[in-house]
Amino acid sequence: MLKMLSTQLTGLFLKLKEKEELALEDGARLLAQATAGEGKIYFKGFNEMEGIIHEAIEGAEPMAHAEVLEQTNMLTHTDRVIVFSRFSDTPEAVSLGQDLMEKGIPFVSISAAKNEDKEDLTDLADIHIDTHVIRPILPADDGKRVVFPSLIAGLYIYHALKLTIDEILLENE
């Protein structure tokens, strides 16, 4: 079972690198604007995706100029926001996205796009990065599927963004 899990996760990481490379670069450029200027990068995670915020703020290598988003009325035009949710249609995340869009605050969203015909983060965000985690990845003995690695995919994307932001800032020094 561990071999199957490792294979599936490796496949997910390769898919993210292949399909989301441009969105990762664009997202990092957008977020780096805050760090290069006088702004901050605010993080908001919903449900299990809050784990990424802990990594970004309190982890071994926290992101520079990063803070937890508590409320949107304190944001300025120099700030950027990054929103993590399991799915692109998570109601609270969509509501936040609508608020940010109305206030003109650029933001990046990270979630699994469901490709449904209703407004979601893929429509609202300046840059959307798809986790490609729509369902569990491993078949279980009873025919069901298990292991829903949305947080793992989100952490991978976070670290890819952080590395790219750090490279951008180093080049511009």
Instruction: Give per-residue pLDDT as tens, 106-142.
Output: 999 999 998 777 889 999 999 999 999 999 999 988 9
Q: Is the pLDDT of residue 35 over 90?
A: no
Domain ranges, ordered by start, for the chain: 23-171
CA distance 81 to 70: 11
pTM of the model: 0.95
C-alpha radius of gyration, the chain, whole number: 16
Mean pLDDT calculated for residue range 76-97: 97
Task: List the CATH code of the domain at 23-171.
Answer: 3.40.50.10490
Instruction: Give per-residue pLDDT as tens, 147-167.
Output: 999 999 999 999 999 999 999
CA distance 62 to 50: 15
Q: Which of 66, 74, 58, 20 minimizes the C-alpha distance to 41? A: 66
Are the C-beta atoms of residues 156 and 150 closer than 8 Å to each other?
Answer: no
